[in-house]
């Protein structure tokens, strides 16, 4: 049986369970929350991406998110957009990303998900993309530009392969639509904390906790909050209502600003340790 496919037995029914589901089940039983770091594949190199994933795994990250560079990202702020541009300018291709991920995933305890534009999936073909992603070791995909109304075909393929398809909700998503997205998602729900693009913020919206709590009371699917999270104070504020916290721009910026690979690894490690510690501190 592939490492990303686990079996859950419930009564007389036997159902497949992705490694994302398994990880959240483990965390719930342990009373812990998921720290989910984001890295851009290939920025500044795929070799460093692999080393950073290993370091973040060693720090205790629960799930890793890997951004597939795309020339026209719809929700990413200047830090991640710039990292995508650098990676694309270096000539990176998705086959190179899959090859590198396939080499590093056997070394990781944490499952990986990709952040990928639906345009890339369509170009490859949905079935082919999911198969290639699974072979590389990905357990799921976040597809930010895929409307839930247009996701039936990809969702069917993902369910067939026990590959998590993660949708996003935002602060402006109507409640009835939030419920539809929750019903259509697998793995977890990505709850966008702010209106706008990714990037570090000094403050988060005052009504964010209430909106997350409203959805939490209506779905059993894990809810992970992302966008703008960069400080221990954010982590302490959001951990009580979230199943996981996603940190991207703060990590990508620190990796990019470092003068060497070793400094990149140290900078990412130090921030991850700081935020993970804040999650575990009441």
Residue range 195-239, pLDDT digits in tens: 544 444 445 556 888 899 999 999 999 999 998 788 888 888 888
Residue 16 has a pLDDT of 60
| Residue 228 pLDDT | 77
- Cα separations in angstroms, 261 against 96, 113, 184, 266: 20, 23, 40, 9
Cα(231)–Cα(200) distance, rounded to whole angstroms? 9
Helix (H, G, I), strand (E, B) or coil at 159: helix
Q: What is the pLDDT of residues 82-122, one digit of tens each?
A: 999 999 999 999 999 999 999 999 999 999 999 999 999 99
Task: For residue 187, give the nearest of 10, 13, 2, 4 by alpha carbon.
Answer: 4
What's the rounded mean pLDDT across residues 247-265?
A: 93
Instruction: Report d(CA 255, CA 266) in Å as an integer.
Output: 9
CA–CA separation, 187 and 20 (whole Å): 6
Name the pTM for this structure.
0.89
Distance of CA 256 to CAs 31, 43, 72, 192, Å?
34, 8, 20, 24
Residue with tokens 């504020």: 237
Q: Work out the average pLDDT over 11-21.
A: 62
Segment 33-57 shows an average pLDDT of 96
Evaluate if residue 29 carries a pLDDT over 50. Answer: yes
Output the pLDDT for position 206: 65
Average pLDDT, the chain: 88
Query: Out of 43, 57, 76, 162, which one is annotated catalytic?
Result: 76
Q: What pLDDT, on a 0 to 100 scale, did the predictor assign at position 280?
A: 78
User: Does the active-site annotation cover 76?
Assistant: yes
Active site residue 12: no
Q: Which of 43, 65, 162, 243 is catalytic?
A: 65
pLDDT at 221: 96
Reported confidence tier of residue 7, pLDDT bands at 50, 70, 90: very low
Of 46, 30, 26, nearest to 109 (Cα)? 26
Q: Give CATH superfamily name and number for 19-280.
A: Aldolase class I (3.20.20.70)
Beta-bridge partners for 138: 112
């Amino acid at each position: 049986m592939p490492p990303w496919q686990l079996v859950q037995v419930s009564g007389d029914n036997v159902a497949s369970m992705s490694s994302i589901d398994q990880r959240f089940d483990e965390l719930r039983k342990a009373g812990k929350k998921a720290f989910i770091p984001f890295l851009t594949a290939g920025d500044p190199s795929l070799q460093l991406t692999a080393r950073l994933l290993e370091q973040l795994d060693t720090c205790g990250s629960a799930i890793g998110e890997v951004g597939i560079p795309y020339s026209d990202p719809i929700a990413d702020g200047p830090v991640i957009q710039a990292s995508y541009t650098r990676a694309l300018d270096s000539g990176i291709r998705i086959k190179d990303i899959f090859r590198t991920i396939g080499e590093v995933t056997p070394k990781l305890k944490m499952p990986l998900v990709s952040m990928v534009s639906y345009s890339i999936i369509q170009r490859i073909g949905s079935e082919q993309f999911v198969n290639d992603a699974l072979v590389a070791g990905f357990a799921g995909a976040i597809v930010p530009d895929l409307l839930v109304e247009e996701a039936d075909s990809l969702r069917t393929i993902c369910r067939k392969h026990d590959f998590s398809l993660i949708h996003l909700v935002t602060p402006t998503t109507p409640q009835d639509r939030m419920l539809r997205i929750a019903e259509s998602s697998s793995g977890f729900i990505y709850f966008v904390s702010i209106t706008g693009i990714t990037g570090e913020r000094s403050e988060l919206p005052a009504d964010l906790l209430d909106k997350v709590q409203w959805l939490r009371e209506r779905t059993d699917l894990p809810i992970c909050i992302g966008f703008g999270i960069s400080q221990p104070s954010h982590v302490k504020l959001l951990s009580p209502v979230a199943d996981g916290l996603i940190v991207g721009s703060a990590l990508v910026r620190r990796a990019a600003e470092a003068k060497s690979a070793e400094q990149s690894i140290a900078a990412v490690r130090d921030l991850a340790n700081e935020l993970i510690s804040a999650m575990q501190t009441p």
